[in-house]
Structure 1
Amino acid sequence: MKKSIALVMIVKNEEKSLSRCLESVKNHVDDMIILDTGSKDRTIDIAHSHGARVYQWEWQDDFSKARNESLKYSKCDFNLVLDADEYILKWDNEAIKDFMNMDKPHIGDIKILSSFKSFDGTDDISWSHVARFLPKGIFYKGIIHEQPDSSLPHKMIPIVVKHDGYHHHEAIENEKNSRNIALLTKTLEADPQNTYYRYKLATEYKRINDLESALKHMDLAYDSVSRLSSVYTSVIVDYIYLLIECKDYKSALKIIENEKMYMNKDSGFHFVSGLLYVKLILSDVKKYIEYFNRIEDSFLKCLKIGEGSGYRGVIGTGSFAALYNLGVFYEMTKKTDKAKECYEKAAAYDYEPAKNRLKLITKN
């Protein structure tokens, strides 16, 4: 018998994004359920125009309560949970059918691509694997960054979603940041040793460029994180990026030295390590020249490992971005042929900085 799928969402004031989301998913699902928590714009009208069932609910500062309220209206076999600023890029019908018909039910983890500004101002895309495809009867726990309240095993499924909320719609996202900081702070008051929430609070402060608060909470996250934790690699890599942005290169180097044995198979770690060695040498050539060869080694390791396969990462750290930075290194060390080769390979990914450098190096 054919298994049914419902799209289940909670929304508020999402008129700029909602239509795109619903258009991307409507041909893949059997029902669309939207729980509105107090929209003042055209969100509800847009939802109705796409055939969604809309319910209204008063926001109670608890994401799992809202998620669970929305899920109770679904009668389908599986529920796909999306936010309004997300939309489907890839959906493999046959593979998803196979997943839904497995003998033992699983929770489906989907891939989410998120646009963001890196510390040097470039536009980057991160990826993460998130539990969003839930069998009927599975609900959530946690007032923020809610997780499925279930011991069912997880399995990656071929659904890819693009999320651009942290990159666009600044006023809405500022409101969301403030809300998230308040909820995370409240959660940590009750559970101060929770590394996951501490890390998430640090990232929220980072988004609003409050680097002092971000560093305070990232310090605490690093002190408490277990190397067995699903967020271990994220804490380490993001901590190093944050220290670089704060120009605390000495502390960043210490983290790299402490963790390199455990992070050796992570391309994101080697990528940020390469960036740190560049910053170190530029800050004091005489003092840090011993790290010069580590720049090349770091980016070569990125390429050997390739793109990451863990909990999350940044697209390009195991491919075009590593190639580009390696090209810059070779160009600065007068190895023009090697630089050109790296730029050509990076440009094949349609990476604009590499194409620009390639034009300049070819002219000369």
Structure 2
Amino acid sequence: MSKVPISVCLIAKDEEKNIEECLKRLKPYGFEIIVTDTGSTDRTKELASRYADKVLDFAWIDDFSAARNFCAQHASNNWILSLDCDEYVNSIDVKTMRILMQKFPRYTGVIRLKNLVLDEDGQTGYGTDDVTRFYNKNFYTFDYPIHEQVCSKDMAKREEMMQCFLLPMEVVHHGYALTPEEMQDKQRRNLSLLYKNLERDPDDSYTLFQIGQSEFILGNHEKAVTFYERGLAGDPSPEFIYVQVMIISLAKAYVKVGREKEALALMDRYAGRCRTAKFQFTYAGVCLDNGQPLKALLYYVKTTTMADADTLGENLLHCYEHIIELYRDMGDEKMAEVFQGKYEACMREKERVVNS
């Protein structure tokens, strides 16, 4: 048993570039570390053995959930922290994690993951996603062969919202800092598994959403619209994180294909049920695309005051950019200067994250 009753579970294949840094950062926290290798031909297993308590082999069967669940089965602890080899921990408040585990034994834990990305000019920026990665294996398991999700073991509870807490840790994901060519190759590989899953369950909202995401990244915006619309056809609850992302993504796809009015109608329709900074930021942008700058300014300013504004990642920086530009267009230099200071503070945070 580890000093802290948490097992960190990772699956790996040909990760010699990342795995040592990942495990090196985890080692000081006293967690049990388990690495499941799915067929590496490089030094991944050799490097993992320097830090991990267990290094296991798993024959790859085109199913990420199967590999993650195999790894968790071999954990000595019930509480599982699931990470990827290209996710580097900057800090963990272990004391607070213990308190949360004791107070909420049937909750799951969410990491506010900072994803490094490359823009069109090859400059590094970052976005932020809330991902469920901490759970008690007595009650939860992974499901879906790709873009795997933590789900209740009780099938009767699968349609219910899982109760969760935000983990007191900072994790930076380096796996999306890819060239356009590398990202396109990744999405094509993902689609091969996603379309197979769709054959098994043609109406699965989550699979339809993920296909839409990959098609959007590949520039197939009309196709993405079709899958997003199919994913929302059954009116899944926006309380699920992926549903709100699907609504936001559909609005962006509508704008890409010249259907700005439909994008605005979509955001208007869900405004009462989606109260996140990411939704509000996108809503502001869609208003701007529809020639409504005052409404856009109102929503951009509102976005910056929301409790979850930090979930925007680098988009918070873009939010301030829009506010400054809109105030200057209105001739209000005083207000533009107020937000200029906030913009500069946000820029410093971006530099801290991308250089961590």
TM-score, normalising length: structure 2: 0.83
Match of 1:237 in 2: 248
Residue of 225, 234, 243 corresponding to 1:224? 234
Match of 1:360 in 2: none
* Cα distance change of structure 1 residues 146 and 175 upon mapping to structure 2, 3 Å threshold: farther
Alpha-carbon separation, structure 1, partners of 2:79 and 2:163: 15
Match of 1:349 in 2: 346
Match of 2:335 in 1: 338
Match of 1:27 in 2: 28
* Alpha-carbon contact 2:105-2:136 (below 8 Å) kept: no
* Cα distance change of structure 1 residues 215 and 8 upon mapping to structure 2, 3 Å threshold: same
Match of 1:251 in 2: 262
* Cα distance change of structure 1 residues 103 and 240 upon mapping to structure 2, 3 Å threshold: closer
What stretches of structure 2 of length at least 5 have no aligned partner? 155-161, 351-356
Residue of 304, 311, 314 corresponding to 2:312? 314
Deviation larger for 5-14 or 265-274: 265-274
* Alpha-carbon contact 1:119-1:245 (below 8 Å) kept: no
Spell out structure 1 runs of 4+ moving beyond 6 A. 118-122, 169-172
Aligned pair count reads: 339
- Return the letter of the residue paired with 1:239: L
Query: 1:276-287 residue pairs with structure 2 within 5 A?
Result: 276-281=286-291
Does 2:216 align with 1:213?
no
**Structure with the greater alpha carbon radius of gyration:** 1
Does 2:193 align with 1:183?
yes
Match of 1:15 in 2: 16
Residue of 129, 143, 154 corresponding to 1:141? 143
* Cα distance change of structure 1 residues 89 and 241 upon mapping to structure 2, 3 Å threshold: farther
Q: Give the share of equivalent positions with the same residue, in percent.
A: 22
1:59 aligned counterpart, secondary structure: coil
Shift of 1:135: 2.5
1:33-90 CA-partner distances (Å, limit 9, x unpaired) = 1111111222122212334532222110112211122122221242221111111122
Alpha-carbon separation, structure 2, partners of 1:181 and 1:156: 30
Match of 1:286 in 2: none
Alpha-carbon separation, structure 1, partners of 2:216 and 2:66: 27
Shift of 1:30: 3.5
- Return the letter of the residue paired with 1:161: V
1:123-169 CA-partner distances (Å, limit 9, x unpaired) = 65333332322335453233222323435853333123211212237
Alpha-carbon separation, structure 2, partners of 1:120 and 1:259: 34
Shift of 1:325: 1.0
* Cα distance change of structure 1 residues 213 and 14 upon mapping to structure 2, 3 Å threshold: farther
| Root-mean-square deviation over aligned CA pairs | 3.0
Does 2:160 align with 1:150?
no
1:229-282 CA-partner distances (Å, limit 9, x unpaired) = 40332122122122223343232122223223333x33322322322233333x
Alpha-carbon separation, structure 2, partners of 1:120 and 1:305: 31
Query: 1:95-114 residue pairs with structure 2 within 5 A?
Result: 95-102=96-103, 104-114=105-115
- Return the letter of the residue paired with 2:197: T
* Cα distance change of structure 1 residues 272 and 124 upon mapping to structure 2, 3 Å threshold: farther
Alpha-carbon separation, structure 2, partners of 1:324 and 1:122: 18
Alpha-carbon separation, structure 2, partners of 1:35 and 1:320: 38
Match of 2:70 in 1: 69
2:167 aligned counterpart, secondary structure: strand
2:133 aligned counterpart, secondary structure: strand
Match of 2:158 in 1: none
What stretches of structure 1 of length at least 5 have no aligned partner? 282-290, 354-364
2:347 aligned counterpart, secondary structure: coil
Shift of 1:26: 1.3
* Alpha-carbon contact 1:3-1:100 (below 8 Å) kept: no
* Alpha-carbon contact 2:4-2:30 (below 8 Å) kept: no
2:17 aligned counterpart, secondary structure: coil
- Return the letter of the residue paired with 2:151: P
* Alpha-carbon contact 1:33-1:74 (below 8 Å) kept: yes
1:186-228 CA-partner distances (Å, limit 9, x unpaired) = 2222222221221111112223333333222122223333244
2:100 aligned counterpart, secondary structure: helix
* Cα distance change of structure 1 residues 266 and 105 upon mapping to structure 2, 3 Å threshold: closer
Shift of 1:91: 0.5
Alpha-carbon separation, structure 2, partners of 1:122 and 1:275: 23
- Return the letter of the residue paired with 2:215: Y
* Alpha-carbon contact 1:6-1:31 (below 8 Å) kept: yes
Does 2:277 align with 1:267?
yes
Q: Which has the higher contact order (CA 8 A, sep 6+)?
A: 2
